Structures are given as structure tokens and as C-alpha cells.
Amino acid sequence: MDVVVQIQGRDALPVRAVPFAGRWQWMSSPDGIASACSQKSEVTKWIKVHQDADPQEVVVRNREFLPAFAISGDGAVRALHPDEWSFCIDEINCLGTKLKGEEAAEGENLSTWRRQAIEKLPAGAFVWLDDFKRWLADNACSDIDEQILDDDPVVEPTLQPLVPSDLETVLFEGFRAAKPQDGSATSSFSSLTSILAGWFETPADDLPSEQWYRIRTASWLMLWDKLSPSQRREVALQWDYLHDPSNAVEREQAWEAFCQLDQIRKEIREWECLNPQSITEKAEQTDRLLALREQERLLRVQLSSDPAGSAQEDRAQQQGEAEAVTPTLSRGVVATETKDFAQLGRKERQIMSIVECARSCGYEPLLIPRGGKKQIKERCLQETKLFTDSAFDDAWKQAIQETPPRIRMKDHDMYGRRI
């Protein structure tokens, strides 16, 4: 069953449903949840600000803390104070001690404890879903020496778990009409640019839970702090374009046009390689090349137009941030500067071509998936006047090493770790 409820237009989880959403692992069991909700939101740690400096006392966010809420009598949402969980924790601990003392065999009362411990959690209390997801991610990355290891640590919760029928009413006690109806869930596109409005200049660790989780699920959490605010905005706009269902037809048309362009360029090279032996053959070659180059020109014009630009710009203006957004987008691609492309240095032209090709392939330049570089390289090498195999590799390397980078693999920071 679906355990997500809607409260004031925001997804939430009843605390009694959290053990099922967390698949009953150590940190999401009833006692684990009660303990997390009773933590302080901030803790003091001794941290070396500089490598050669002495440790300093610093107040940091407590990653073990999970904020919980309840709906008051007037319908307003109020935060539960950590101390309000002390009675609940005592109840769960006493229940565990009692059932453990009655066991004739190890673990025989575990299922009984699970059922009864859920009822010890307060009815009507809930956690915001994005808070819960961030809490899971934080604790799944805890130091190994400081946690009980699970074979399958939870990072993504199970939002439609198997729940015994006799516990369904217990889980949603205190929520009345907030209980979800089967089949009522609908999926809709949620603009990443809109969600991040006002937060593009904020470091990842200081983002609110909803914004933090969105950039994490968009697969650029590790990259966030390495980008400038304008680059973060550009990546968000790129993501919106590539995921907005309303752009599906346009994206498909752009892809078909790019494939046609590839085919025409291939045919041009074939005709250029011919060695006509007569005036008639020479004329035929000339006419055919003229026709193919005109088709190539028209397709390049089609691929460089920006039918999506005004829609993207209007969306940004509604957030009051249009002045900071690069004004035109083409198929999710930020338009190039008006400076004549031919006047740029050869290396710069190579890098710009690589970035343009990546976008034409449907990739975000700073999130190239595995296998994407090979596809981009194959297409760039078709531009024989601009690229050789080694020239592409050199330009790719320089684009990665620039500050900030202009091209990057999606898994570049896969071994990185949030501190």
C-alpha cells in the first residue's frame, strides 16, 4: 500500500509507517525513529578548520536528527520538540525488555515487538518525505565504526511496502482524510529550476531538505559546490528541458534532424571523394554537392533555432530571476555568444563543438553518462577539418580541467564523499 500522505500540498510519512518505508533496518525501526526524532538539531564538534591549525569547536548540523511534526487543533503544522519523544522511548524500551524476558528461544517475540512497538509511536505524528530521504542518505554514509552494519543499507525508501491488513488502520491513525486512496497518486513534472529558485548561490550542505534531495536525485549533488551559481542555473534549465514531457515532441524532432544531418554529412564526404572523369560526371558531382550542402545548411539552421527559449525565460521571470538566466535556450542548449565562431582559437572551437555535440546527443555537458564520450567523439571526428583523434582527446581534457569545467563525466565524483 502507498504510505505517503499529502499534508498542505507536501508529501509526508506517518511515523508509524516509517519502519515499513525503511524496510525495518536498524535506523528505521520504531526505537531508531524515536531516538532520531529526540536528537538535537545541532551538535558541537572539534574540527580542524585548517590542516596546520588546532581543532576548533564548531556547531554543525546533526545528521542523526530527524525532525517530526504534528497537526494542531487549528489545522496548523507544528514541529515536535525532541523532549516530547522521551515518554515514547521509555515505552518502547520497556516493551522490549518485557518481551525479551519472556522469550524461551532467541528472537521468538520479535514479530510481537514490531507490532506493539509501532503502536507506541505517537498517532498523527509525521515526517516530511524529503527530510526522511535526506536522513536516510546521511546515515547510510555514516562512519562504519559508528553504525550497526546492514547487508543492504537503505538509501531510497520503499513507499509502497507490504503492510499487514490489520496494521493499516494503526499506521494512519490520526490522519483522517490524509490517508492515501489506492490509485489516487498522479505523476507530474516538477521544474528543478523552480524548486531551486533562490538557492543557486547556496552550498549543498546548507540547502533545505527538498532542494538538497532534488539535486541528489538529479545526479549532480557532488558537482554542485564546484559550479558557479550561473552554471547551476544552466544545469537546472538543461534538466528541465530534457525531462519536461511537454518538450518530448521537440526533443524527438531535434534528434531526427541531427541524425539526418549526420547522414547528409556522410554523403557529402562520399561525393567529395569521387574522382569524376568527364565533364558530365564533374557537373553531376557539383550539382549534388550543392544540393547536399543546402540541405545541411537548412538542418543546421533548424538545430540552432530556439523555440523553447521563450518558455524557459517566462518560467524564470515568474520566479523574479529572469535577469540572471542566460536568455536563450535551444533544445535545452544555452545559445553561444554572438562572437564569430571562426574568429575563435582552434582549441576553443573544438571545446565549443564538443559541448554542442554533447547537448545535441541529449546529454547535460557536466553529466555525461558512461558511453557518452565515445558517441560524442565519433560525431566530432566527422568534422575532419576541426578534429583528429588526438585533438579531440586534448580538447576534452582541457574542457575538464578548466575552472569551472565545461565538460565532465556523470560518475566523475562517484568515489567522492560528503563531509
State what percent of residues in the chain have pLDDT above 70: 78
Cell numbers at 375, concatenated: 558517441
The pLDDT of residue 176: 56
Q: Which residues contact 384 (CB under 8 A, 6 or more apart)?
A: 269
Query: Is residue 35 classed as helix, strand or coil in its secondary structure?
Result: helix
Summarize pLDDT for 204-217 with one digit per residue, the tens: 888 887 777 677 76
Among 347, 344, 328, smallest CA distance to 387 is for 347
The pLDDT of residue 73: 74
Q: Pairing between strand 10-14 and 5-7?
A: antiparallel
Q: Report whether pLDDT(415) > 70.
A: no
Chain-wide mean pLDDT for the chain? Answer: 77
* Predicted structure pTM score: 0.46
Residue bearing the bigger pLDDT, 75 or 330? 75
Biggest CA pair distance of the chain: 103
Q: Report whether pLDDT(16) > 90.
A: yes
The pLDDT of residue 155: 67
Asked whether the CA dihedral 405, 410, 413, 419 is positive or negative, the reply is positive
Residues 289, 271 contacting (CB under 8 angstroms): yes
Q: Return d(Cα 127, Cα 13) in angstroms, integer.
A: 5
Q: Return d(Cα 200, Cα 229) in angstroms, integer.
A: 5
Q: Which residues contact 12 (CB under 8 A, 6 or more apart)?
A: 4, 5, 6, 69, 126, 127, 128, 129, 178
Summarize pLDDT for 65-119 with one digit per residue, the tens: 999 998 877 777 888 999 999 999 999 999 999 988 888 888 888 889 988 999 9
Confidence of residue 322 (pLDDT cuts 50, 70, 90): very low
Residue bearing the bigger pLDDT, 316 or 103? 103
Q: Report whether pLDDT(321) > 50.
A: no
Summarize pLDDT for 276-298 with one digit per residue, the tens: 888 888 888 888 888 888 888 88
List 42's β-bridge partners, or say none.
61
Q: Return d(Cα 43, Cα 138) in angstroms, integer.
A: 15
Cell numbers at 130, concatenated: 524529503
Cell numbers at 197, concatenated: 529558485
Amino acid identity of 394?
A: D
Q: In a 10 Å sphere around its CB, with 0-12 CB exposed, 13-18 middle and 19+ buried, how is residue 375 labelled? A: middle
